[in-house]
Amino acid sequence: MTRNNPADVANCEIVTTRVFDAPREMLFRAWLEAEHLSKWWGPLGFTTTFHEFNPKPGGIWKFTMHGPNGTDYPNEMVFLEIEPPHRLVLDHTVPPRFLLLVEFDDFHGKTKMTFRQRFESPEVREKIKSLAGPANEENMDKLAAELATMGAGRHEMLMSRLVCAPRELVWYAWTDPNHLAKWWGPRGFTNPRCEVDLRVGGEIRIDMKSFDGTVYPMEGRFLEIVKPERLVFTAYPIDANGKPVFEATNAVQFTQMGPVTRIDIRATVEKIHDPVALKYLGGREQGWSESLYRLADLLDTMGGRPAH
């Protein structure tokens, strides 16, 4: 195969495309968390046992697929690229050899996933095509079912706000802990602890202190950092016993629109560990709204001013 010739590459590929009613961040979780991937990987009727799973560049994924007739199919892949939540590349290292390229694109509020198997030659592709095509579709059906399970009980909030400040300044206010501590949380709250390790996989820790002195700890990790355009991080409010109350993913988009910056937030609660959390979710939108007003006030002192 001539790798630089698009026609030659296309002749070696099997491509499966599916649109899922779920955000890209959730699809990435379904791929990179073994508890979910093990439930949907493989054609209809197959189950999968993981022996080794290390989802990082160079990490090994070793597993056995069990067919409905009892036949076992040992497999091994190597993670080559992980770019959340846009792209995955894996090398299937046992016959039939192929590169697996998976791309995730926003599609009218949903996610379009392109599943591309690139074989060593057109001949290998032709031999496997009649089996791989239907099997891939069944795999996508199982993924859709798992996503539906992951989404059960999800609480999603969308919010937008315009501020009269350049995007770089807004980004700085979100990512510098000294400035983040000044606006995070509802009006009247303070943040005696605010720690930001701004790298993919790095932690964010904030202790919010209310009027009566009660402290509400929050921890999370950064999933995606595209300066100064996009920030995605998890958030886990912690109870008195040090356990998460619920698990949320916050995706924040910053768009420069002339002299103003538009902030778009998708805040999704994906897992609830303590039912007491449900009574607080109703006030989540107000809390975010007050936080963004405080952010606008801070930007005014930093050189921007609130947009009207």
pLDDT tens, position by position, for the chain (308 residues)? Answer: 444 566 677 889 999 999 998 888 889 999 999 999 999 999 989 999 999 999 999 999 999 999 999 999 999 999 999 998 899 999 999 999 999 999 999 988 889 999 999 999 999 999 999 888 899 999 999 999 888 778 766 678 889 999 999 999 999 999 999 999 999 999 999 999 999 999 999 999 999 999 889 999 999 999 999 999 999 999 998 888 888 888 889 999 999 999 999 999 999 887 777 666 655 666 778 889 999 999 999 999 987 544 44
173, 166 contact by CB (below 8 A) = no
Q: Which of 150, 158, 169 is nearest to 270 (CA)?
A: 150
Domain 6-151 sits in CATH at 3.30.530.20
219, 231 contact by CB (below 8 A) = no
Whether this model's pTM surpasses 0.75 = no
Q: Tell me the CB-side half-sphere exposure of residue 296, using CA atoms within 13 A.
A: 20
> What tokens appear for 128 in the block?
């496997």
What pLDDT is stored for residue 7 in this prediction? 60
- The gap from C-alpha 107 to its chain's centroid, in whole angstroms, comes to 15
Task: Collapse the DSSP code of 149 into the 3-class scheme (helix H, G, I; strand E, B; otherwise coil) and give the result.
Answer: helix
Between the alpha carbon of residue 279 and those of residues 274, 282, 284, 287, the distances in Å are: 11, 6, 10, 14
Contacts of 199 (CB under 8 A, 6+ apart): 222, 225
What pLDDT is stored for residue 271 in this prediction? 77
User: Does the domain spanning 155-306 belong to CATH 3.30.530.20?
Assistant: yes
Q: Do the domains at 6-151 and 155-306 have one common CATH topology? A: yes
Separation CA 49–CA 137 (nearest Å)? 21
What pLDDT is stored for residue 275 in this prediction? 62
What pLDDT is stored for residue 116 in this prediction? 96
Ordered by start, the domain boundaries in the chain are: 6-151, 155-306
| Strands ordered across the beta sheet of 13-20 | 13-20, 110-119, 98-107, 87-92, 72-83, 60-66, 47-53
Residue 260 belongs to what H/E stretch? Answer: strand 260-272
